[in-house]
Structure 1
Amino acid sequence: MLWLLKSRERKAVFAMMKEAKRRGVEIDELENVMTPEEFAALLPPEKPKFKGKIPDVTRWDLPADGEVSAKEYWTDEEVLAVQESTARGEWEGAAALLASTWGDWDRRDLVTGVLGEAAAKDDEWLRAWRKARPGDAGVALVNAESLVHVAWEVRSGLRAEHVSEEQFAAFFRVLEQAEDAVREASELAPEDPTPWVSALAIAMGRQYENDRYLKVWEELTERDPQHRGAHGRALQYWCAKWFGSNEKMWEFAETAASKSPKLAPLLLVAAHEADLQGAPAWRDPRVTGALDGILAWLDGEGRDHSSTRSDRSYAAKALVENGRFDEAVEQFRHLGTRADGGMWSYYGDPRSEFLATRYAACFGATRP
């Protein structure tokens, strides 16, 4: 009976009943016709999962709870400018920004991702760019990444059993087109590792077995052995939930961390993935032994890296789990009001997870 359910559960049931009626389906069919994001949006927000007296975080010079947002946030003025110009159908700013990233492969990957996502939504400006500059390596690169975005949009975020045969057929068809686009981009700029980052996403979508995936990986690392975005994508491939295992994931993360300080945060990502699989790893020696070096990199050379905000989220979580609360509070000072780091979204309600972890940091920290 509904009256036996808790208040949040009652509200969720009523919301699902209303949505099912609106869509003309039975309530137990909703999961088949809605994405996980749409389904989660029906649920009233949970209170943060924090047991104990909630501290007043402003006493640690942190922004109040009401100011925190999980909305994607950009501080990069150049990225913001091209997002606005492509929305107006203009390509010149995008071309100039992408050209300026040559040699800074991590930034080139970031800009390519932004432009690829924009083109997946509306490619009028991309087609105008290609017409004005046929054979341009930059436009070929953005085209490849946009097709990757389109493919995953076609597939949807539903679990495989809820994706139709037609969707899967279209998904694989677009990925084949993306492979051709990657080949074109790589031939036009053979030194550029960025097309091979897109190729890694295609390899996951087309379910490459390990040996075939490693051939793509070799192409990437020949061009940039320390590419951060590529290592982030590859770590997901080697996770147990995709085509690897916990052992392969950890091996990959440890090898990456030995290459460069900017790759060491992958150990925190690995700990998080292991934790999600029910194998708590935040206090694993591989994590605790790397934390000081990761913090030094975040406050030094990595301060302005494109991955820093995401890395600080993982670092804050790791510090809380290891009882280093004052240092965790410092990471939250850097994060400010931004709960859009990828780690928080794994729990369904990124803002609540962010707040709960921040409460724990303040609760255990030295009094201000």
Structure 2
Amino acid sequence: MRNGVASDGDGQGSMAAGLFEGQYVWHPAADDRTLASVCVDVRAGRYRSAREALADTRDDFGLRAHRSLVLASEAADSDLAERWLAEEPTPEAALLWARVAVLRTLRAAAAHDERAEALERIALTACERASTAAPHDPTPWVAKLTMARLHDIREPAPQGLLTAPAGPWRLFSHVLRLDPWNREAHHRFLACFFTRYGGSVNAAWDVAAFLGQRAPATSPLRLLPLVALVESYNPAQLLADRVWEQPQWRATALAIYQNWLPETAGYRFTPVLDLAYLAHALLMAQREFEARAVFMAMGPYASRMPWSVFGDPEEQLSRARRSCGLPVPGAA
């Protein structure tokens, strides 16, 4: 099992998004009920259920990435990760500490906090410890890759990219040796080429196309070009909102709709963020029928991206749903 997909006979079953009941659910746990329950415990300073929830993902790297990242966001403002690691030095405790340490580093760097450099050293140590505790787990390396955007790493790109953008290619390649289609790793790597992290629009498009085309047709990594397209959105440009109507982008969105969307029925949690990017692209491409089906697959679960790029995320999401004839909060 990989990337959160439950195989037949897995015993977990898929977690259907369910019907929309009038309110959006913004929490990133979405319909992973186990994770949602553990988040409550973590906020209360208890880690026992986190141990079980993460141990359950040792053979499912997609779910492991998802749960560890969400739990880190809940634990980052407390000493739970350090306390758990001191009391139970398990691979799961080491992973949560690495995730928490990386998150603290990114927050400090974004705030131009003078402690950012020291926090990064702690995070690198935490990632090393987690990778040593679980040598076959790509997640600690993905956590380390997340911090690559803080530095101007100039490793040469492989052949096949038009702009040959330099970046943290060696670290990314190491993750791929452990898990070739690791979703989070691809997104973290692509982010290194975003303009807000010192990259360029052309480099981001080039990397997104290169990585997306390599992925299987049924993979959510096919969404990478659509992510880069949102990232490059500039409302000041002429006809900026019409870009998604261009044949190449409409065809990209429709292919993902046809090949990947059916796969999500077997996922152990609803991939809300990926579905949101697909729904947005289809809607902007004037394909309301297909967008409606994607929104139905999302159920009440919501993500701030990509909607926040275009305005208030709740307003943008509600506008999109109304365009597809779907209910929104507050509607009579």
TM bin, normalised by shorter chain, reads 0.7 to 0.9
Alpha-carbon distance change, 307 to 339 in structure 1, aligned in 2, over 3 angstroms: closer
Partner of 1:37: none
- Structure 1 CA distance, aligned partners of 2:121 and 2:319? 43
Q: Does 1:271 align with 2:233?
A: no
How far the C-alpha of 1:101 sits from its partner, in A, is 0.6
Partner of 2:74: 118
Alpha-carbon distance change, 78 to 268 in structure 1, aligned in 2, over 3 angstroms: same
Partner of 1:177: 122
Partner of 1:196: 141
**Which segment is superposed worse, 146-155 or 186-195?**
146-155
Structure with max Cα Rg: 1
How far the C-alpha of 1:310 sits from its partner, in A, is 1.6
How far the C-alpha of 1:118 sits from its partner, in A, is 2.3
Partner of 2:179: 224
How far the C-alpha of 1:285 sits from its partner, in A, is 4.1
Alpha-carbon distance change, 115 to 358 in structure 1, aligned in 2, over 3 angstroms: closer
Partner of 1:150: 104
- Structure 2 CA distance, aligned partners of 1:83 and 1:271? 33
- Structure 1 CA distance, aligned partners of 2:76 and 2:20? 35
Paired amino acid for 2:91: A
CA contact (8 A) 1:120 1:150 kept: yes
CA contact (8 A) 1:63 1:336 kept: yes
Q: How many residues align?
A: 289
- Structure 1 CA distance, aligned partners of 2:321 and 2:37? 32
**Which segment is superposed worse, 97-106 or 244-253?**
244-253
- Structure 1 CA distance, aligned partners of 2:115 and 2:212? 38
Partner of 2:9: none
Q: Does 1:240 align with 2:185?
A: no
CA contact (8 A) 2:57 2:64 kept: yes
Q: Does 1:319 align with 2:282?
A: yes
How far the C-alpha of 1:63 sits from its partner, in A, is 5.8
Paired amino acid for 1:249: A
How far the C-alpha of 1:128 sits from its partner, in A, is 3.5
Q: How does 1:19-58 map to 2 (within 5 A)?
A: none
Q: Deviations over 1:145-165 (max 9, x none)?
A: 1011112333456xxxxx4xx
- Structure 1 CA distance, aligned partners of 2:248 and 2:127? 36
Q: Does 1:299 align with 2:261?
A: yes
5+ long unaligned stretches in structure 2: 1-18, 157-166, 327-332
Q: Which of 294, 302, 309 is residue 346 of structure 1 equivalent to?
A: 309
How far the C-alpha of 1:180 sits from its partner, in A, is 1.3
The sequence identity of aligned pairs, in percent, is: 26
Cα RMSD for the two superposed structures: 2.6
**Which segment is superposed worse, 227-236 or 70-79?**
70-79
- Structure 2 CA distance, aligned partners of 1:297 and 1:102? 27
**Which segment is superposed worse, 185-194 or 203-212?**
203-212
How far the C-alpha of 1:78 sits from its partner, in A, is 0.9
Indicate the structure whose relative CO is greater, using CA pairs within 8 Å and at least 6 residues apart: 2
**Which protein has the bigger helix share?**
1
Alpha-carbon distance change, 282 to 306 in structure 1, aligned in 2, over 3 angstroms: farther
CA contact (8 A) 1:309 1:341 kept: no
- Structure 1 CA distance, aligned partners of 2:302 and 2:67? 21
Q: Deviations over 1:297-351 (max 9, x none)?
A: 4432223265722222222222222221222222233334444242112234101
Alpha-carbon distance change, 282 to 111 in structure 1, aligned in 2, over 3 angstroms: same
Q: Which of 56, 73, 94 is residue 50 of structure 2 equivalent to?
A: 94
Paired amino acid for 2:35: V
5+ long unaligned stretches in structure 1: 1-61, 158-162, 364-368
Partner of 1:30: none
Partner of 2:8: none
Partner of 1:15: none
Alpha-carbon distance change, 273 to 154 in structure 1, aligned in 2, over 3 angstroms: closer
How far the C-alpha of 1:229 sits from its partner, in A, is 1.0
Q: Deviations over 1:116-162 (max 9, x none)?
A: 222212123x334223323x2221111111011112333456xxxxx
Q: Deviations over 1:240-288 (max 9, x none)?
A: 3324322222222222223223211112212212324746642344422
- Structure 2 CA distance, aligned partners of 1:355 and 1:317? 12
Q: Secondary structure at the match of 1:275?
A: coil
CA contact (8 A) 2:276 2:303 kept: no
